[in-house]
Structure 1
């Protein structure tokens, strides 16, 4: 895992942030999530599940 502030970390962060932004997250929220995911890769899956539950409607339900 690259260290925060390194060139590799910045590249990974910007790519992840752009993917989140492309999926409809606001700029600031995408930035926060990208940092959080890269700093805590083990907790990233659980965190993404929480985010998905909040923003992605379940099958058979309409979006809020």
Structure 2
């Protein structure tokens, strides 16, 4: 079971890093972001926060 949790944590950390990279890439455009890109950045941020919440619940205190 511990190995499965460890794998889940590693997977979530990798997904979170990928989301952060995608967000950063979009935000570099700054004021030049299209409404579609702004919406995508917002969705990515929500996913990143959800991943961080899941990570917090999986990690031992």
TM-score (norm. length: structure 2): 0.33
Whose Rg is larger? 2
Name the structure, 1 or 2, with higher relative contact order (CA <8 Å, separation 6+).
2
